[in-house]
Amino acid sequence: MQPLPECRTLLQGKPGASGLLLSYKAAAVTMTELASWLAPYAGRYVVDRTELPGRFGVSLSFAPGDAPVTDAPVDAPPSVFTAVREQLGLALQTQRAPVEVVVIQSAHAPTDN
C-alpha cells in the first residue's frame, strides 16, 4: 500500500481594478474536501455528489461574494459558481435537502465547586 499524497492548499487574494480576485490552489484534494472548502464562498452547504474517487490538483480563481451584476466590467473576475463551471468543469447546483443542526436551548455561567 502506498501512502496517500499530502494535501496542500494555497489561497491568495489580489486586489484588481474590477475588485478582489481569490486564487485557490490545492494538491491532492478530494472532491469532498473541495466541496467543504467552497461552502463559505457559495454561501450555503456544498455536498459532493460527483462520486469521483481519488485526489486531484485544483486551481480556481474567482471573485468572493455574489455573482457579478450585469453591468460589471468585462474584465471582472467570475463568481465562484461561474469559476467552478468554467475552470473545473463541475457544477454547483442548488437543491433543497434536510440538514442536521444542533440547537442550544440554554446556557449558564459555570458555578464554583
What confidence score (pLDDT) does residue 11 get?
82
Say if 102 falls within a structural domain: no
Say if 23 falls within a structural domain: yes
Domain total of the chain:
1
pLDDT digits (tens, 9 = 90+) for 47-102: 999 999 999 999 999 988 754 445 555 667 888 999 999 999 999 998 888 888 89
In whole angstroms, how far apart are CA 41 and each of 37, 45, 74, 112?
8, 10, 22, 43
Say if 36 falls within a structural domain: yes
Say if 27 falls within a structural domain: yes
Please tell me the distance from the alpha carbon of residue 109 to that of residue 46, in angstroms, as a whole number: 35
Angle at CA of residue 35, ends 29 and 41, nearest 5°: 115
Compute how many other C-beta atoms are within 10 angstroms of the C-beta atom of residue 51. Answer: 6
User: Higher pLDDT residue, 74 or 103?
Assistant: 103
Domain that holds residue 12: 8-88
Say if 2 falls within a structural domain: no
What is the pTM assigned to this prediction? 0.73
Say if 16 falls within a structural domain: yes
What confidence score (pLDDT) does residue 39 get?
92
Say if 66 falls within a structural domain: yes
Going by the DSSP 8-state scheme, the letter that residue 76 receives in this structure is: P
